[in-house]
Amino acid sequence: MVLRQNILITGASSGLGEGMARQFAARGRNLALCARRTDRLDDLAAQLRAAYPGIAVVTRALDVTDHDRVFKVFEEFRSELGRLDRVIVNAGLGKGQPVGAGRFDANRQTLETNLVGAVAQIEAAAGIFREQRDGHLAVISSFMALRGFPRNLTAYSASKAGISAFAEGARLELSDHGIKVTDVRPGYISSEMTARSTKRNPLMVSAEAGAHALVKAIEAEPKRAYVPSWPWVPLSLAVRLAPGRLLRTFS
C-alpha cells in the first residue's frame, strides 16, 4: 500500500467528507479541507489540530460550481503542503425532484454540482498529478450510479452515473502517467443528506462506520469500490438485473 500523506477532501464540512477527514487525521495524514461553509470547516480543522498536533490541516472556502476557483484552490493547497498525494472528490448534493414536477432548478443544480462540479475537481487534480507523475484520485459516486431511479433520485442517479463513467475514462487515460483513479460507490450511510428522508432504511449504516469503510476502501486504491462491501457488492449484481418496478423500493 502506498502511503498518501497529503490528502485533499472537498465537501469536508459535514457528512461523509467530515467523517473521512476525522479518519485520515487519526491515521496521521495532512489534510487540505474545503467546503462552502467555512464556519463548520474551521471548527473541524481546529478540533483535528488539537487532537492530532503532529499533522497539518489547511482550509479554504470552495463552491465547486465556481470552476475557476476549484483550480485556484487546488493549486493553493499544493503550494501550502508542498504536494498533493490524494484528492477525494466528495462535494455533492441530493436535492433532485420528480421529473415534470416543475422543479427543473433543483435537478439542474444537482447535475451541475455532482457532475460538472466533480469534473472540474477531477481536471484540477489530474493536472497537478500529471506534473507530479503520481497521485490517487478517489471519486465519491454512489450505488445509484448503477441504474436510473425514479422520483427524487432521477437527477441524482444520472449525475452519479455520469461521474462514474468520467472516472473510468480518466482512469484509463491517466494510468500511463502514474495516476490511480478509484470510483467509490457508497450505499446508504447516515449523513445530513440521508437525514432528510422520512423513511426508515434497514440498510443504513452509521456515519462513523460508513466513514471507516470509505477510508479503508480508498486506502486500498481499487478501480471501483462498493462501500460498505456488504450488502452493496451482492446488491450491485442484483440491481443490474432487476426489473424496473423493483427500483422504486430504493427511492
Catalytic residues: 156
Mapped onto helix, strand or coil, the DSSP state of residue 177 is: helix
φ, ψ for residue 200, nearest 5 deg: -75, 130
Q: Are 210 and 19 in contact (CB under 8 A)?
A: yes
* CB 204 within 8 Å of CB 188: yes
Q: How far is CA 42 from CA 28, 49, 73, in A?
A: 19, 10, 16
Helix (H, G, I), strand (E, B) or coil at 179: strand
The closest alpha carbon to 34, from 44, 24, 25, belongs to 44
Sign of CA dihedral 27, 30, 35, 38: positive
Give the separation between CA 85 and CA 219, rounded to whole angstroms.
12
Instruction: Measure the CA–CA gap between 82 and 76, rounded to whole angstroms.
Output: 10
All three cell numbers of 195 = 437525514
- The alpha helices in the chain, defined as continuous H runs, are 15-26, 38-51, 67-81, 104-111, 118-132, 154-174, 192-195, 207-220, 229-241
Cell of 113: 454540482
